[in-house]
Structure 1
Amino acid sequence: MDTPIVEVKHLSHRYSVEWAIRDISFSIEKTGIMGLLGSNGAGKSTTMNIICGVLNQTEGDVAINGIDLRKNPVEAKKHIGFLPQKPPLHPDLTVDEYLVHCATLRRMESRSIRAAVERAKERCAIGHFSKRLIKNLSGGYQQRVGIAQAIVHSPQFVVMDEPTNGLDPNQIVEIRTLIKEIARDHSVLISTHILSEVQATCRDIRMIEHGRMVFSGSMDDFNNYVVPNTLTAVFAEPPAAEELARIEQVLRVDELSQGRFRIRFSGDETITERLVASSVENGWRLREITPERCSLDVIFAKLSGKLENDSDLRP
C-alpha cells in the first residue's frame, strides 16, 4: 500500500494551560478530498495550522509524504499548498505579478516559474485576467486566484480553510467543481464548520469537537451513522395526535398545522411502514412523509457525548 501523503499521530497542542486538541490521529491518501469538520472553536484551525507547519505542536508527530514536519520543515512544506480562510492576496498586483511572487516564495527555480504560473491560471480558469489588478476581480475570481497560489508549485497536498465562505450560490458551485477537479491528482483537505459543504465535496470526513476526534470514516459511513429521528407527515383526513402517538416506536407527536404533524420516533425507519398501514386502515389519507435528519449542532453534541440520549445515532 502506498504511503499516505499525510500522517498525523497522537497530535496535541496546548495554549498556556488549555489544551486546544488532544490525541488527534489520522492519515490522508494521495488523492481525493477529506473534510475536517467541527464547530467554531473545536480545534480545526489548530490542527490545520500544525499540519501546514504554521504552528509547532506540543505533542505528537506529523509527516508530509514521509517527511517529519518538525525535523525537516522546509522539505516537508514543498509538498503543501495552503488557502487560508481569507486568501493572502495583494490587491494592487496583477494576477500574473502575484502568482510569480508566490512561486518565488515557494523557492521554485526561476526558469520553471512562468510555466507553473500558466498551468495554475489554466487550472483555475483565470488566464483571461492575467493583467487585471486583483482588487478589480469579483469575490469568486479572487478566490480562484487564492486557489491558484496554493497549487502554483504543484504540491501533492492542498489545504483549504472554508474555501466557499462569503461566495454567492453560483460561485460556490464553481469553486466546488474546481476543488473536485484539483483532487483528481492532488490530496485536498477542506476545513469547515458547514456539514453541507463536506457532504457536497468530500469522500472522507474527520470530525473534531472539544479538541478530540469524535468521528473518522467515509462520507457514506457518516451518512449511514446519522439517521433520521423525526419525520413530518401530512394527512387529508388527519387523526388526533393521540392516535398517532399510540403507533409503535412513536415517542412524541406535535401538530404543526391542520393535517401536518412532526413525529419523533425511536428505532429504525420502519416507522414509515407502520404509518402507511395505520393510515390505510383508518382512512387518514396520508399524503406526504418527509424524514428529518439531526441538525449539525445535535450531531456534534451527541458525538462528543454531551447528550445522554443516543436514540438519534446508530451505536
Structure 2
Amino acid sequence: MPHILKVEKLSHKYNSNWAIRDINIEINGNGAVGLLGSNGAGKSTTMNIMCGVLNQTEGYVYINGQDIGKEPELAKREIGFLPQQPPLYPDLSIDEYLTYSAELRMIPKHKIKGAVRDVKERCGIAHFSNRLIRNLSGGYKQRVGIAQSIIHQPKLVVMDEPTNGLDPNQLIEVRKLIKEIAQDHVVLISSHILSEIHLMCKDVIMIEGGRIVFSDSMNAFNDYIQPHSLVIRMEQPPTAAELLTIKGVTKADFLTDRQARIYFDGDEEVAERIIAASMQQGWKLRELTLDKGLLDDIFKQLSIQPNS
C-alpha cells in the first residue's frame, strides 16, 4: 500500500532565500498529525506545496502514491483543505454551499445529495441546513468549513489553525469533531499553539528554520526534555534546608505546608535518597512524582535553529 503522504527532499526558495530545505515526511495510517512551528518557520510553504497550491523548487510530494507534480488532478482528489479562514460564501445556505463544494470536487451528480446529507450528519450541522452561513456562530462556520474539506472522502485532510478564534465551548466541540474525522482520515493539523496539538494529535512534526527538527510520537515529544524536578507530599515534612542536604538536590520550594517541588541535577538516584531520608527521619512520604518537561520548554529547546 502506498503512503497516504510522502514528501521527499522537499525544498523551496523565494528569490535567493530558502524557505524550506530537505523536508522528508511519511504518513501511512489514519490519525491526527501535528505540524508545529513558529511564524516564518516554513509550515505554510510546506502545506501549500502539499496541497498543490505552490510548485516546489526541489523534491517530490506523493498523495496516496500519486506525484502531485505529474498527476495533480489525481493527487488533489485525495486532499481536503481547511485554510485558516474557511472559504465560505456567507450568502449561501449550508445546503447550497455544500452542494457547490461537492460539484467543485467532481462528485457525480447522482451522488451529491447523499454526500451532502452524510457530511452534514457527520459534522453536526444537519439541523441548520437552510440557514445562511452568515447567520451561523463561529463554531458552526468552522464545522461547515470542515464539512467542505471532507465531503469527497479524501485520504488526507490538511487543516491550518482549525481552532483559531473559537471560544472555549466551540473549541471543545471542534476538537472532538477533528478527533472523530481522524479515525477515518489522515488529518494534518498546522499550528503554533502547542496545547492544541497536544490535545488532538498522536504524532508531531516540527519545522523550524525551514527544516524538520523533530518527527515522532506525542509521547516522545513530551519526554524530549528529561525531568529535573519532582513533587513530594509528606505528613511530617522537613525544612527546605534539610531537603538541600540530600545529595543531588539543588533547590527545594514548598508548594503547600506538606508538598514541595524538588529540583535535582539529573542524578537518577535522587528519588531513592529522598525515600531513604524520609524513612530515617520520619517524614512519612506519601507521594513522589516526576515532573515532565513543559511543552513550552520543549518548544523553546527545539526552536533553536539547526545548522545549515
**2:265 pairs with 1:275:** no
Listed as ranges, the gaps of 5+ residues in structure 1 are 308-315
Contact 1:39 1:300 in 2 (8 A): no
Q: Give the letter aligned to residue 116 of structure 2.
A: V
Q: Deviations over 1:58-98 (max 9, x none)?
A: 22110111111122222211110001122111122111111
Q: Deviations over 1:262-285 (max 9, x none)?
A: 432233665334323323323445
**2:270 pairs with 1:264:** no
Contact 1:4 1:28 in 2 (8 A): yes
Distance in structure 2 (CA, Å) of the matches to 1:296 and 1:263: 20
SS at match of 1:81: strand
Q: Give the letter aligned to residue 45 of structure 1.
A: S
When residues 85 and 238 of structure 1 are mapped into structure 2, their CA distance, relative to the original with a 3 A threshold, is same
SS at match of 1:87: coil
Match of 1:210 in 2: 209
Instruction: Note the C-alpha offset of 1:300.
Output: 2.5
Match of 1:123 in 2: 122
Q: TM-score, normalised by structure 1?
A: 0.86
Distance in structure 2 (CA, Å) of the matches to 1:292 and 1:94: 50
Q: Deviations over 1:136-189 (max 9, x none)?
A: 112211111110000111111111112222223332222222222222221111
1:38-187 equivalent positions in 2, closer than 5 A:
38-187=37-186
Distance in structure 2 (CA, Å) of the matches to 1:270 and 1:200: 32
Q: Deviations over 1:92-143 (max 9, x none)?
A: 2111111112122223333322221111111111111100111211221111
Q: Give the letter aligned to residue 124 of structure 1.
A: C
Distance in structure 1 (CA, Å) of the matches to 2:251 and 2:257: 17
Instruction: Note the C-alpha offset of 1:25.
Output: 0.3
Distance in structure 1 (CA, Å) of the matches to 2:176 and 2:257: 42
Contact 2:208 2:305 in 1 (8 A): no
Which segment drifts farther, 82-91 or 264-273? 264-273
Q: TM-score, normalised by structure 2?
A: 0.88
SS at match of 1:74: helix
When residues 36 and 259 of structure 1 are mapped into structure 2, their CA distance, relative to the original with a 3 A threshold, is same
Count matched residues: 306
Match of 2:6 in 1: 7
Distance in structure 1 (CA, Å) of the matches to 2:85 and 2:270: 46
Contact 2:159 2:188 in 1 (8 A): yes
Q: Give the letter aligned to residue 126 of structure 2.
A: G
Q: Give the letter aligned to residue 38 of structure 1.
A: G
Distance in structure 2 (CA, Å) of the matches to 1:257 and 1:202: 34
Match of 2:32 in 1: 33
Distance in structure 1 (CA, Å) of the matches to 2:98 and 2:133: 11
Contact 1:8 1:26 in 2 (8 A): yes
Distance in structure 2 (CA, Å) of the matches to 1:185 and 1:226: 32
When residues 269 and 116 of structure 1 are mapped into structure 2, their CA distance, relative to the original with a 3 A threshold, is farther
